[in-house]
Structure 1
Amino acid sequence: MQIRDEVFDDRAAVFALTHAAFAGTDPVAEPAEVDLLRNLFTDPGYDPHYSLVAVDTPVVIGHVIATWGSIDDSKPVLGVGPVAVSPEYQRNGVGSMLMQTLHDRAQAQGLPGIVLLGDPKYYGRFGYEAAAKYGIVPSDPSWGDYFMVRVFDEATLPAGNFRYAASFAC
């Protein structure tokens, strides 16, 4: 398996695996995450450096994207999501490798942290903590401890009101 930058030619596979990963009881209905991805790929917050695929040659089996949001409308911060792995490859470390590569890139660029909305039990194993602990406020207060941050440099991590990229509409 290889982790590499996502390229335009990967997108059909990324949409398909995201559909499969997030399909509910009705596998025909398109999950909201697929539409969100379509919008994120054209969003001003999209940065190809933070859109990664996992490939089991020649098949794209996983994808993670982080897009630029902001704290207090002026301090840029990456927001992760969605993260998707093809169902037949789940629980084999694909998501972990995608997240680690994303973190490595963010740290190499000197970013102070990354935020996401997700399950604390799952993302806690990647070092994510409640964002409120660091004074980062989500756009929806009901997110509570599900809105988290992975801190790389606490001294430079901004506090304030976070907004995801415009495509998230929150």
Structure 2
Amino acid sequence: MIRASLSKSWILEVAARSLTSFAVFRESQWKERYLEVYSLIGPFKEQLEAYRAECQHLEQEKGEVVGEIHKLAEQYADILGHQNHKQKIRHLVKLKDQNFELKEEVQKLKRTVDKLQKERATNKPLKASVTTPVKGKENHTPSCKSLQLSPSTKPFSQKNAM
């Protein structure tokens, strides 16, 4: 009986050790996977944050536009005084649709302007790296500035004309 209880306790102890070693092994596997995924996502984190900020900005803008549409519709309904109620309703619906289309167009144009400004901002560092001179090269001019004429020099055809 003592031997049976010792063997049971020994089996339980071995099982506990194997479970803890397995848990440690799985934990290390998950940590490795996490670090791998994080290293893949890391370079794009700034882009994700920029997209999130842009989304919030657009949602806020949308809310402001919808509120402005309702406000203008109420003001216009108060000002407008059609005698025929059906004409008034049709006219208001038409104006609301036109107003909504114009607001959407303004939003699209703002988005394209923002997008172009972001692209322009991301392209500026590339231009700066291209215009840096190469060490050891005397005549290396990466930009076309050497091709531009200064005010004191005239094109060849103008020199011959004088």
**Shorter-chain TM-score: what band?**
under 0.3
TM-score (norm 1): 0.19
> Which protein, 1 or 2, shows the higher relative CO under an 8 Å CA cutoff with sep ≥ 6?
1
Higher normalized strand content (fraction of residues): 1
TM-score (norm 2): 0.20
